[in-house]
Amino acid sequence: MRKLLLTSLLLSSLSAFAQSSLADSIRLILEEGIAADAFPGAQVLALHKGEVLAHVTAGYHTYANQRPTQKDDVYDLASITKTSSGLLYLMQLYEQDRLNLDAPIGQYFPVFAGTDKADIPLRSALSHRAGILPWVPYWQGTLKGNGRYPWKKNWDAKRTNDYRFRGRTLRRDSSRNYPIRVMDDLWLHRKFREKNIYSAIRKSPVKPAGDYVYSGLLFYLLPQLVEEGTGMGYHDYLRQQFYDPLGAETLGYRPLDRGIPLSRIVPTEIDTFFRMAPLHGVVHDEGAALMNGVSGNAGLFSSAADLAKLYQMLLNGGEYDGRRYFNASTVEAFTRRHYEAEGNRRGLGFDKPLVVYDPDASSVAAAASPASFGHSGYTGTMVWADPDKDLLFVFLSNRVHPSRNRRAIYTLGIRPRIHALLYRHLVEDSNH
C-alpha cells in the first residue's frame, strides 16, 4: 500500500513538474513575440480531456506597459465569430432536418434571390470554394472623396458633420435617422445595413466555383436569418441557446453594453483611416462596426476561459457539463472536409489543417490530426480542437495593436510553435 502511495505521489510530482516546464516553454515563445513587436501581450489556454493543461499570460495590454495581461482579459475574437455565433444556428437547423446543405443559398438567403449567386449550393459557400468575393470594403462607400479632412488651421472635424461622409451613411451626432452608435462621436444611418451592405453583397461579382477563396460575405447575412427564423433578437438567441447555459458570461457582442469594464478589454488597432481613433471596447472589423457591432462574420468578444467552454462543447461532440447542444453527428458533419479531393481543407465554416502540411503556411502544429478543427482571427486570435487527442488550444492576442501591419506573429510562427509544444508534452507525459 505504501509503495503504491509513493508511486502515486511520484507520478503526481512528475506531472506537476512537466506542466510547469510546459508553461515556462510557452511563456518563452510569447516573450519572444513581444520582443519582436508581434503583440504587446498574449495568453494561451490549453485543456486536455477537459482539464487545464496550461494557462499562461505574458506582456501588457499595450506597449505603454501599464496593464499586465490577465487571465480574465476580454479580447476581440475577429473571425472566430464565424464558428461561434450564427453558424451554430445552421447546425441546429441541420440537426432538425430543416437545412439541406446542397440547396441553393438563394433558398435561405433572400438577398441572393435573383442574382448570379442564387444557385450556389450552401455546402460550397460554407466551404469557401463557391467563387464568392472574399470581402467588400463597406466603409469606403461611406466616405466623400478620399475621406480625409482638409489641412486647415484650427479645423474641428467634429463640428462638421457632412464633410467626410456621404449622405445616409455616418454622422458625428445621433438623431432619429442616425441612431446606431459606431463610436462615441460616430453614428450610423438606420437603413445602412439594408441599403448599403446587403446591396453591395447582392452586386458583388462571383467567380466559377472550385478554387478555395476565403470569404466572409455569407456570414454577414446570418443575423437576419436567425432573427427571421426564431423571432428573437440575434444576440438574445445566442445567449439563450448557447452562451448562458455554457456559463460563458463574457462571450458576446458589444462588451461595454454588457457591463464588461473597459479595463478588462484588450485594445486593438489605432484606426488612422476610418474611425480615426483608438479602438478599445468596440469591434475592430469595419464591416461588423457598420452592422452595429453585431455580425456573423466578426464582432464577438470573449475571455479565453469562456471561448474554451464553447469549443469544449464541440470537442465533446456537442455535450458540455451534462447538457447536450448537438448530436455528435452534427458536429462531425460541420467539422469535416467536404471537398478534400479538390485540395480544399475547410469544413463547413470551420477551418481544418492543411491537406498537405506546410510549416510556412500553417497556423497549427504538424501533429494536429485531420479530425481537428477551429478558426483564427485577424486580431491575433485562434482556437483549435483536436478530438483525436482530446486537446483544446486557445490563443488570444492583439497583434493589430497599434497597427495591423505588425506581422511577426506569422513570420515567427508563434501559434504553431506553441501548439506543437502541447502535442510534444502529451507524448512525453504518456511515456512517464
Taking the CB of residue 55, how many other CB atoms lie within 10 A of it?
17
What per-residue confidence (pLDDT) applies to 2? 55
- For residue range 122-177, list pLDDT tens digits in order: 999 999 999 999 988 888 889 886 544 433 344 344 444 445 788 899 998 999 99
- Give the lowest-confidence range in 98-112, 158-172, 373-387, 395-409: 158-172
- The pLDDT confidence band at residue 20, using thresholds 50, 70 and 90, is confident
Where do we find the cell 476565403?
214
Cell numbers for 381, please give them. Answer: 486570435
Q: Return the closest-CA partner of residue 140 out of 178, 197, 203.
A: 197
- Give the lowest-confidence range in 16-20, 244-248, 262-266: 16-20
Where do we find the cell 460616430?
186
Higher pLDDT, 295 or 185: 295
Separation of alpha carbons 403 and 344, rounded Å: 31
Mean pLDDT of the chain: 92
What per-residue confidence (pLDDT) applies to 145? 66
What per-residue confidence (pLDDT) applies to 11? 52
Mean pLDDT of 182-193: 90
- The pLDDT confidence band at residue 66, using thresholds 50, 70 and 90, is very high
Provide the terminal-to-terminal Cα distance of the chain, rounded to the nearest Å.
21
184-193 CB burial, b ≥16 within 10 A, e <16:
eebbbbeebb
What per-residue confidence (pLDDT) applies to 321? 97
| Total-model pTM | 0.92
Higher pLDDT, 43 or 13: 43
What per-residue confidence (pLDDT) applies to 155? 39
What per-residue confidence (pLDDT) applies to 9? 54
Instruction: Give the rounded percent of residues in the chain with a pLDDT score beyond 70.
Output: 91
Mean pLDDT of 201-209: 92
Mind listing the domains of the chain with CATH numbers? 18-102+212-430 (3.40.710.10)
What per-residue confidence (pLDDT) applies to 158? 47
Q: Return the closest-CA partner of residue 132 out of 222, 53, 210.
A: 210
* Range list of β-strands (E), 49-93: 51-59, 75-76
